[in-house]
Amino acid sequence: MNYHIVTYGCQMNIHESEKIAGILKEKGYGTESPIEEADIIVFNTCCIRENAENHAFGNIGALKQLKREKKNLIIAVGGCMAQEEGKAQILRQKFPFIDLVFGTHNLSELGDLIDRRRARRKAIVSLREERGETEAGIEPVRTSYPGAWVNITYGCNNFCSYCIVPYVRGRERSRKAEDVLREVRSLVAEGFREITLLGQNVNSYNSDGQGGMSFPELLDAVASVEGKFRVRFMTSHPKDFSEELARVMKKHEKICNLLHLPAQSGSNRILNLMNRRYTREKYLSEIAMLRSIIPDCPVTTDLIVGFPTETEEEFEETLSLVKEANFASAFTFVYSPRTGTKAAEMEGQIPEEVSKERIMRLVAQVNENTRNLSATFVGKTTEILCEDYDEKKGLYLGRNEAGRMGYFASERNLIGEFVELKVERANGVSLFGELVEKS
Ligand code: 5AD
Ligand code: SF4
């Protein structure tokens, strides 16, 4: 029996799909296959923006015929969208052929739900209220070697006014530090070379007292695990970024000198409406503090344009922040109203054509920054963790610690190895060059 998982959204979801694959394996679905050959298809959905939802709706709808032809095929829909209030009913009405709807809080029950569905003909909808750890006993099927994701927190307490995450993922829960460390040790022993710690707001790790230590302490402990590997973490919230954390980053060579610090906007009035709890000045002073400890540390960010009532001048403050903070790159989004959030109720929603025009200007500015940072690597040697082979280009590829993707030729399969790349040219986020022997 085969499985196929369709994933939408962020790293959190990608990692959750690895756990779903682990559960499916346990249930006897041996291998991942193309969608037409699968005996179970799982949609791991995202609801952070409307287009992620539309995408999922389109893909699920397209399976009607396949389900008619394959009577024993199980179609399951999980993830954030399934957990959204009222969405399970809408899904069942629109697509009566769905067999199973499960939420973000009952991942660990997926195996039992599949058994129940196999035993009877009726569809099952099982959504739970928030609860504790979701991964006890689940062995993920890792798909990102030589990288591996490790959850440290689930949920979010911040209630940024535009964001639906706290509603679908519940309050912030921290995994026990000893469980995180055990997982990291075993991943490193298995040969994984890049560990990314995951949470909606890693800096507030242990806010519920369940972790047993603060985030800087946890990061310090993770980076102290023996072995050659890199450590990354995301996402940091600017309201909780600290000098202690910057010092831990500095202390360990294993921790990549790169910080993902979503600013969302460069305007204080908009930041206030977003309930972000920091100002532009505070944000910039944090980056300055970081760069006083780690000179030129690259910072990446998330930015939203077209938040309700955003004026042209306020948008320009976001544009100027990109320059002033010298972001290495940025994820840029058009504000998407999410039912149930405060911002969706606000007056002054921005017309789509205005937001589209703003995002184009923002992307142009971000691209300029991206090019500028990439150009700084030309003529230099940078360490790359080889991740993959690009058939089309006939080149191996992997990232350096600043997240730039390096491409190079090699006779030997280098996936999973650290190599030194002498960069000859740069294009956007990509660097091209030749391998040099390590001295
Ligand atoms: N509209 C647009 N972007 C959003 N994000 C979160 N919610 C929304 C929304 N309603 C963005 C934020 C966040 C990233 C993961 O997604 O920038 O940091
Ligand atoms: Fe959403 Fe804000 Fe929490 Fe990030 S910190 S998940 S943007 S509520």
- Spatial distance between the Cα atoms of 67 and 59, rounded to a whole number of angstroms: 13
Taking alpha carbons only, the member of 149, 172, 145, 141 closest to residue 159 is 172
pLDDT confidence of residue 439: 60
Other C-beta atoms closer than 10 Å to the C-beta of 413 total 10
Fold category of 3-126 in CATH: Rossmann fold (3.40.50)
pLDDT confidence of residue 138: 87
Q: How many residues does the chain have?
A: 439
Domain 381-436: CATH superfamily is Nucleic acid-binding proteins (2.40.50.140)
- The Cα-based distances of 350 to 253, 266, 276, 335, 357 in angstroms read 45, 17, 20, 9, 11
Q: Rounded to two decimals, what is the model's pTM?
A: 0.95
pLDDT confidence of residue 74: 96
- Spatial distance between the Cα atoms of 421 and 439, rounded to a whole number of angstroms: 12
pLDDT confidence of residue 123: 84
- Spatial distance between the Cα atoms of 154 and 162, rounded to a whole number of angstroms: 19
CATH 1.10.357.10 fits 144-256, yes or no: no
5: its two tokens: 């998982």
Measured in Å, residue 165 CA sits from the centre of ligand 2 at 6
Test site for ligand 2: of 151, 154, 158, 261, most ligand atoms within 8 A of the Cβ? 158
Measured in Å, residue 343 CA sits from the centre of ligand 2 at 13
Choices 3.90.380.10, 3.10.20.30, 2.40.30.20, 3.30.750.200: CATH for 289-375 = 3.30.750.200
Taking alpha carbons only, the member of 332, 302, 305, 308 closest to residue 317 is 305
Measured in Å, residue 260 CA sits from the centre of ligand 1 at 14
pLDDT confidence of residue 21: 96
Write out the H or E segment, with its range, that includes residue 167: helix 165-169
411: its two tokens: 């006779």
Q: Which residue, by CA, sits nearest to atom 4 of ligand 2? A: 200
- Spatial distance between the Cα atoms of 406 and 403, rounded to a whole number of angstroms: 9
- How do strand 418-427 and strand 430-436 relate by DSSP bridges? antiparallel
Using CB distances shorter than 6 Å, the residues near ligand 2 are: 156, 158-160, 163, 165-166, 200-201, 237
Please report the sign of the dihedral spanned by the C-alpha atoms of residue 29, residue 136, residue 236, residue 388. negative
Per-residue confidence in pLDDT tens, the chain, 439 aa:
999 999 999 999 999 999 999 999 999 998 999 999 999 999 999 999 999 999 999 999 999 999 999 989 999 999 999 999 999 999 999 999 999 999 888 888 899 999 999 888 788 888 877 665 556 678 999 999 999 999 999 999 999 999 999 999 999 999 999 999 999 999 999 999 999 999 999 999 999 999 999 999 999 999 999 999 999 999 999 999 999 999 999 999 999 999 999 999 999 999 999 999 999 999 999 999 999 999 999 999 999 999 999 999 999 999 999 999 999 999 999 999 999 999 999 999 999 999 999 999 999 999 999 999 999 999 999 999 999 999 999 999 999 999 999 999 999 999 999 999 999 999 999 999 999 987 6
Taking alpha carbons only, the member of 50, 106, 104, 111 closest to residue 82 is 104
